[in-house]
Amino acid sequence: MAVHTVREFGIPGVFAWETGLAPVIFVQVAIFVLWWHARSARPTLGLVLAATGLFLLVGGAILSILPLPFLPFAPAQTVNHYLSHVILGITQIPIVVIPLKLRRLEGLVDRSKGREPTQG
Structural domain harbouring 98: 2-112
Percent of the chain surpassing pLDDT 90: 22
Question: How much is the pLDDT for 97?
Answer: 95
38 three-state secondary structure: coil
Residue 23 placed within a domain: yes
Residue 117 placed within a domain: no
Burial 86-117 (b: 16+ CB within 10 A, else e): ebbbebbeebbeebeeebeebeeeeeeeeeee
Give 114's DSSP letter: T
Average pLDDT of the segment spanning 21-42: 86
How far apart are alpha carbons 59 and 84 in whole angstroms?
A: 14
Residue 120 placed within a domain: no
Cα angle for residues 17, 23, 29 (degrees, 5° grid): 145
Residue 77 placed within a domain: yes
Residue 40 placed within a domain: yes
Give 62's DSSP letter: I
Residue 20 placed within a domain: yes
| pLDDT tens figures, 65-111 | 888 888 777 778 889 888 988 998 999 999 999 989 988 887 766 66
| Domains: count for the chain | 1
Asked if residue 58 has pLDDT above 90, the reply is: yes
How far apart are alpha carbons 34 and 90 in whole angstroms?
A: 24
Residue 119 placed within a domain: no
Residue 55 placed within a domain: yes
Q: Pinpoint the alpha helices (H) of the chain.
A: 2-9, 12-15, 21-37, 42-55, 79-112
